[in-house]
Amino acid sequence: MTKADIVNEIAKNTGIEKVTVQKTVEAFMETIKHSMVNGSNVYLRGFGSFIVKKRAKKTARNISKNTTIIIPAHNIPSFKPAKSFITKVKSHVKK
């Protein structure tokens, strides 16, 4: 499902114009991105959490050049689904 599909589905289910729904979805995504860039997690009860994970500094190898490189500590975005969400996905069987 793409962002356009999500916009179409919300517009169809709510009766709100697609343009308004698209602006809302864009604003929602920008808010989550902005929050995570600033180091804050986003918690959506019953859906999941958008969290910032911290990766420690580590040593890696470049096999082709046979050299060692240092990868500095950094943050990465991550999504952790809620337990109820996981349960619904696991129990859904496609026929």
Give the total number of structural domains in the chain.
2
pLDDT digits (tens, 9 = 90+) for 16-63: 999 999 999 999 999 999 999 999 999 999 999 999 999 999 999 988
Q: What phi and psi, each to the nearest 5 degrees, are found at residue 73?
A: -60, 140
Tokens of 12: 């169809």
Task: Compute the distance between CA of residue 86 and CA of residue 56 in angstroms, rounded to an integer.
Answer: 28
Question: Which residue range(s) make up the domain with 21?
Answer: 1-40
Task: Write down the pLDDT at residue 62.
Answer: 87
Q: Are residues 36 and 56 in the same domain?
A: no
Q: Are residues 23 and 56 in the same domain?
A: no
At 47, the amino acid letter reads F
Q: Are residues 58 and 30 in the same domain?
A: no
Nearest to residue 81, comparing CAs of 59, 51, 61, 60? 51
Q: Are residues 29 and 58 in the same domain?
A: no
Task: Write down the pLDDT at residue 79.
Answer: 96
C-alpha to C-alpha distances, 93 to 9, 15, 87, 88, nearest whole angstrom: 22, 30, 12, 10
Nearest to residue 44, comparing CAs of 22, 55, 54, 29? 29
Q: Are residues 56 and 33 in the same domain?
A: no
Look at residue 77 and tell me whether its pLDDT is greater than 80.
yes
Look at residue 95 and tell me whether its pLDDT is greater than 80.
no
Whole-model pTM?
A: 0.77
